[in-house]
Structure 1
Amino acid sequence: MDVLAWLRDADPALRWQVERDLAGEPPEVWEATRARITTEGFGARLLARQDPDGQWAGGAFFPAGFRGDEPQPWTATTWSLNSLREWGLDAAVLRGTAELLARTSRWEYDDLPYWGGEVDVCINAWTLANGVWLGADVAGLAEWFVEHRLPDGGWNCEWVEGSTRSSVHSTLNALKGLLAWETATGGSAATRAARRGGEEYLLERHLLRRLSTGEPIVPGVGEFSAPVRWRFTALNAAEYFRAAGRPDPRLAEAVELIRAARQPDGTWLQQRDDPGRVWFAVDVPAGQPSKWLTLSATRVLNWWDAR
């Protein structure tokens, strides 16, 4: 199987990353493919779902009318912005959206204004990344992460309930948000120190094991799925360290776990299906070769092996 050819035969949102990260194409090639996200495939379909008030599905984190009697839906504003940003959509295509959301969108938690965030670490991390991408004023949200980092080094969405122990899910999402902020703005000494400390929290555990018992850090740490959404896995975390440019030796065991999941034909399988409403499917069902996972895992291994 020609894995590279198989990966190239994909939606522009995936193909441009293959061209840039795996095929080594010059910028004029992958930038042209990336520009097609606006008018073709996943990107165009999701852009067409945007409401006149700037939201998707009529809500900030949950769609309008959500009652909590079904699995988490993946259609509301935050999830839709996450997808478009991660696919590589040019933020200029959404010109005016940041201003619209500032006026019209409120969090389901306490009716708080959208770009101010709320109390959930993961939600605030996605809002920080989406805000800096769209040009919203999210400087206060970046400093929120400095103030809400826990004594053990990371973050936990349950801090508001009194938790003082960090969560790897929350910590990884916080790191991604802070990295997006620093990449765009340079950050501050405080945000840079917070991010570095959060990295150490994960690296001390080699991305895999609890410090206290040596047991798996979370169930399913080696079960990879796409879209990633909120879940911590060894692959999701390794992708963060690749993006951050930190090939720390303590990643080695997690990288080998990723390598071991490669199939004989050079692909990686989708390993779980997350329930919940979606606008449309962007990857295959569990058990089938996933182009998104194969792209992600291959570039992690290439980065690691070339360090």
Structure 2
Amino acid sequence: MAIHIQTPLVESDAFSTPASRLWLKLEALQPSGSFKLRGVGHACAVHAQRGARRLLSSSGGNAGLAVAHAGRRLGLPVLVVVPETTLEWPQALMRRQGAQVVVHGASWMEANEHLMALRQPSDAFIHPFDDPLLWDGHASLITEAAAQGPKPDAVVLSVGGGGLMAGVLQGMHAVGWADVPLVAVETVGAASLHAAVAAGQPVTLDGITSVATSLGARRVSDRAFQWTREHEVISVTVSDAEAVQACLDVAREHRLIVEPACGAAVAAATQRAVPLLRDAANVLVVLCGGACTTYEDLQRLARAVPTDGNVPAADTAERP
């Protein structure tokens, strides 16, 4: 059974121009709050079929929420280990789904090490982004979009660890969109793909300094980087201030709350950050969502983030 739901594809009058129409794939409406449920739900279902007795996640955010939701749907217990930097709100959301939540360590790496020490042979560990099962699930996003609207001239999405990017590109090739460019957006301070493209190989960032912590993978997955050699991928960065403002714009214009990680893609699309987007008649933007940020958080960030830069943020997870 599918754990995720089919989400709407809406044409955004607010973000469109007479020459360029923006279409939003509303992954923020997934039951867990983000696109993560597609890949995570698929992976959890496969592991359940293989006999897993418990599902494990080391995530202070959307991946943990997706595993918790999938576990409840599948009738399997879930253990999520989160770092000490994880806010109480996402922890409460995970517990609401019936997950056991353990707080350990100052960073995602320490939380993950603790989770691995607790792992039993019958457990299934669900990686936040680097797993072909996840990419298979995320590809369904494009299968839906292809049936819901026009073939786009460009696809825009946010990149953290690269799981969404790998799945979307897999789906694009499956539906005949291999000629459609992908605009991959990160915030300054969490730009592991941008650094990899510049270096010609994946590199590990010294740290994450962006408030878009859901993009906080210090190293993009090898598969995501490999896609830059197989498909036209345009790597773009935006500031934290631009990402947060885009979230507020989405809230005002579309009545949806999304995280700065999601706002990054919206900012690049609405600003037509590269010439391709200024000339594209139809642009598909993946509104990836995110349940760990409230509207009050966005207002606080808007006051705290300088308009010309970023502020330090904790590395809470290795994600999208």
Which protein is bigger by CA-based radius of gyration?
A: 1
**Larger proportion of strand:** 2
Whether these two folds match at TM > 0.5 is no
TM-score by length of 2: 0.29
TM-score by length of 1: 0.30
**Larger proportion of helix:** 1
Instruction: Using CA pairs under 8 Å that are at least 6 residues apart, name the structure with larger relative contact order, 1 or 2.
Output: 2
